[in-house]
Structure formats: structure tokens, C-alpha cells
């Protein structure tokens, strides 16, 4: 039997994300995302037993732009997703892909010991995961 190559999330995740407070405005988030070439914003916990949130460009398009809201008048906490489903860094990319499919995810924070290490998305799963697997 041929051994399958294992690629874990840590090997493919990217670190192009920001961490902001939920009170930030969408305009502030967009400015920071553009300045830092980030595609995802992780929303920090407010207190120890809180959950982190996530803000994607698709959230901004659907909940601000499409509804003709002013980005300087909408706070991140109003449109973010919370709680998020975190992914462990040592998770096999095949299982991560199944998790994305089962729960309708497109991005997930990679979390270890309560700290966000990076982000995994479809892009990484396909181009850095699937394309590198040999069967």
C-alpha cells in the first residue's frame, strides 16, 4: 500500500490578517486591510470567556455596500461573524476541507493555545494543499 502524503494546515495557512477591536468602524477596518494587504480581520475577544470574531470582505459587500450603508457609520461588531470555527494547525488539509464543506466555511482562523496563528481559506486548501498532495 502506498503511503499518502500528509499536509497539515500549519503548512498552508497564510498570515495576512489583522486583529482589531469590534468597536472599529468598517472604514477603519478597510483602511487597515488595504494598508496591510490583509483579506481577513480577526476581532479580538473583549473578555477572557468571549469568542473571537471574523470579518471578511464578503461580509462588507453583503452587509454594508449592498445595503448602501456608510462604512464610517457601521461598527465591525455589527456585521462580523462570531463565534468562529477555529482550525488546529496540525489538522490534515483533507479534514479541513471536509469541515469547510460541512459548515459552509470559506475561511477559518488557525488557532493554537488561544492565539490566532494565521488563516486558512479555499485558496490555500486548493493551491497549497490539493496541488501538493500525491496519491
Domain residue spans of the chain: 9-132
CATH topology classification for 9-132: CBS-domain (3.10.580)
- Say what the pTM is: 0.85
SS3 (DSSP) at 119: strand
Q: What is the DSSP letter of 129?
A: I
SS3 (DSSP) at 86: coil
How many Å apart are CA 135 and CA 123, to the nearest integer?
Answer: 20
Residue 6 confidence (pLDDT) above 70? yes
Neighbours of 14 (CB within 10 A): 16
Please identify which residue in the block is written with the cell numbers 482550525: 87
Residue 1 confidence (pLDDT) above 50? no
Residue 14 confidence (pLDDT) above 60? yes
Residue 85 confidence (pLDDT) above 90? yes
pLDDT in tens, 22-77: 999 999 999 999 999 998 999 999 999 999 999 999 999 999 999 999 999 999 99
Average pLDDT score, the chain = 92
C-beta contacts of 29-32 below 8 A and 24+ residues apart: 29/55, 29/60, 29/76, 30/60, 30/71
Residue 131 confidence (pLDDT) above 80? no
Amino acid at each position: 500500500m502506498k503511503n499518502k502524503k500528509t499536509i497539515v494546515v500549519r503548512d498552508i495557512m497564510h498570515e495576512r490578517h489583522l486583529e482589531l477591536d469590534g468597536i472599529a468602524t468598517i472604514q477603519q477596518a478597510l483602511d487597515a486591510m488595504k494598508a496591510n494587504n490583509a483579506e481577513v480581520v480577526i476581532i479580538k475577544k473583549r473578555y477572557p470567556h468571549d469568542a473571537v470574531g471574523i470579518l471578511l470582505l464578503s461580509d462588507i459587500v453583503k452587509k454594508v455596500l449592498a445595503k448602501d450603508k456608510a462604512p464610517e457609520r457601521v461598527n465591525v461588531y455589527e456585521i462580523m461573524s462570531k463565534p468562529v470555527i477555529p482550525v488546529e494547525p496540525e489538522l490534515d488539509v483533507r479534514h479541513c476541507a471536509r469541515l469547510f464543506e460541512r459548515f459552509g466555511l470559506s475561511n477559518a482562523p488557525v488557532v493554537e493555545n488561544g492565539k490566532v496563528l494565521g488563516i486558512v481559506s479555499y485558496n490555500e486548501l486548493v493551491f497549497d494543499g490539493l496541488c501538493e498532495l500525491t496519491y
